[in-house]
A and B are shown apart, each in its own frame.
Chain A
């Protein structure tokens, strides 16, 4: 049972200001014939979790189909410990040309990458880059903003809740953008956050959701791996939006939508680039709305006019509009983004302070 799950390490990393790297094109790694290629994938959790790890596994299955002659290695539930380094080293020893990992392993990965310059490394939600290492993630805050618009319209009280894991940027970004989306249509909306110190602990998630509901919250958003918040919400007759996959079966009447992950195209493209000799490290990718991350089809109790309003925002975002616009104050009332300014994608990826109206998170 890994105590620290994915992105947990970010809590420490986020304390450092993000340093933009100087533009320096790394040279591409040499091409590999498909029949000789070995693609390795390390998962943070079990691929049967029905959430985060399942979405990566699905992407990998699509890649297998796209490159049938290549060999694929897959290891599940790799803890963030020295065990991870051993697993990644084994990937390299087994002839891997390309290694994906579904969570930030930091030095545990880069120490292996530095010893294997011919192997491409891709770290999900990572930070470290080198000539043969890049990171990738999703613009989840933009989808959270869209969900916030619909949620605020559906909430009766305007008091909404968020159940998250650790005080890491993924959680700040989600809760903040959810509130900003909500306030764009309902200026008095608030978001009360509960952290359960785990990415996967259905018992804790269920208790957290119950506590929120008993304190008058009638709309919950969660980025945890499982659907237990949705089940609790369904039982209590309130609404809930989730992450990762379509979870409506857990509570069809409570289900608003889900932040859906789809790594398929990204994995197929990256592997294709590696085989063709076009893959170079030293970069990062934040998959945009509509290409890797999106809202799920709206739940059956979402009124059509609410869905239409949220989808109008989605269309603007896909068209290039950045919803994270000033003026934005933090929870202490200090202006962090002036009027007319905005937070760019990297700033949102690194978000580590709560916006005004998000209660229960402290700036790190």
Chain B
């Protein structure tokens, strides 16, 4: 594997965690709910995936377990924030802390053990023979293709090319108006928060069945928070989220390459670089004035029909 190909491959493998978690968060935020529980959802997904494969040895079962756990935890969060209208920030924090604690407790029997099953490499025929790029881009596991191609493609189509997507975005902007024209604001919010939570938990499954095939307490290492930040920086657009995730992964991989080749840059500086470069790149659209995207107007605001 050449250096460039290795760099790209590492960027994809590590960026996929952020891409998946970020795309899940995008769904919740687009319908107006700020979910700060991504880190907790990832931990729950990561743990339940490992627990599920320990009995079945099938990564698909692990993914389903993670999605189901994420949906269950997401339902709890959605009930608190959408139905009971509690503070989204506080409930999100609670979901993060509760999720991490629960995952640590339930995951004890599996901690520090290799995962019983992992995602197999799925080479794309013909394309995987391309020089340099073939190895890096087309010899990955299924979740990487989902994270960088299938899911953003689908979400972009859903949000920006369908009437249903228009309704979802409208609910994030002005739920009162949507309610007035007969859209079901609360059920739709609830459904998409739950769906988003399931996808974010799926990022955890990819983490422990693909990227680092082992569960331990703290394996998510704060990446859930980066995913939340990425959604905001990316202007709530699916393609920009995956581009940001790829960039973050790429600069991170470049930092390790710099150490492996001894370019003499201090490791602490290299550790900071992904954050700095991603920040700068994400600022570009805003600075150039093109494609400026504000947050959904009703983001973080609970909807009360009687105060319309």
Contact = CB atoms under 8 A, between A and B. Distances in A.
Whether A associates with B in a native complex is yes
A207 B10 contact: yes
A-B pairs, 3 with minimum CB distance: A50-B112, A214-B6, A211-B256
Given A203-B221, A228-B212, A50 B6 contact: no
A166 B259 CA distance: 13
A197 interface: yes
A201 interface: yes
Interface stretch (A111-119, A134-142, A187-195, A316-324): A187-195
A202 B212 contact: yes
B165 interface: no
A41 B18 CA distance: 36
A208 B259 contact: yes
Contact of B216 (A49, A206, A231): A49
Interface of A: 1, 45-46, 48-51, 54, 161, 167, 192-198, 200-208, 210-212, 214-215, 217, 226-228, 231, 245, 249-251, 359-360, 362
A250 B108 contact: no
B144 to A, nearest CB: 14
Interface stretch (B55-63, B261-269, B278-286): B261-269
13 contacts: A45-B218, A48-B111, A49-B111, A194-B256, A201-B221, A203-B14, A203-B223, A208-B259, A210-B10, A210-B13, A210-B256, A227-B114, A245-B112
A196 B267 contact: yes
A194 B268 CA distance: 11
B31 to A, nearest CB: 29
Contacts of B9: 210
Interface of B: 1, 3, 6-7, 9-10, 13-14, 17, 104, 107-108, 111-114, 207, 211-214, 216-219, 221-223, 252-253, 256-257, 259-262, 266-268, 271
B10 A1 contact: no
Given A202-B214, A226-B214, A214 B14 contact: no
Most buried by A among B17, B213, B223: B213
A203 B211 contact: yes
B262 A211 contact: no
Most buried by B among A192, A210, A214: A214
A205 B271 CA distance: 12
Contacts of A54: 112
B217 A46 contact: yes
Given A195-B267, A203-B14, A1 B212 contact: no
A210 B211 CA distance: 11
Nearest to B258: A211
Given A46-B218, A226-B214, A250-B114, A210 B6 contact: yes
A245 to B, nearest CB: 8
A215 B104 CA distance: 35
A299 to B, nearest CB: 15
Given A202-B216, A203-B17, A215 B261 contact: yes
A200 B216 contact: yes
A75 B104 CA distance: 15
Contacts of B216: 46, 48-50, 200, 202, 226
A157 to B, nearest CB: 14
Contacts of B260: 161, 192, 194, 208, 211-212, 214-215, 217
B245 to A, nearest CB: 13
Contacts of A50: 111-113, 216
Contacts of B221: 1, 198, 200-204
A214 B112 contact: no
Contacts of A210: 6, 9-10, 13, 253, 256
A261 B84 CA distance: 51
A201 B260 CA distance: 18
B51 to A, nearest CB: 14
B104 A207 contact: no
A271 B259 CA distance: 44
A9 to B, nearest CB: 15
Nearest to B263: A360
Contacts of A1: 218, 221-222
A102 to B, nearest CB: 16
B111 A211 contact: no
A167 B216 CA distance: 25
A214 to B, nearest CB: 3
B140 to A, nearest CB: 13
A207 B17 CA distance: 13
Contact of A249 (B108, B113, B261): B113
B112 A206 contact: no
Contact of A49 (B17, B211, B217, B261): B217
A189 to B, nearest CB: 16
A31 to B, nearest CB: 37
Contact of B259 (A48, A49, A211, A227): A211
Given A192-B262, A196-B267, A249-B114, A231 B213 contact: yes
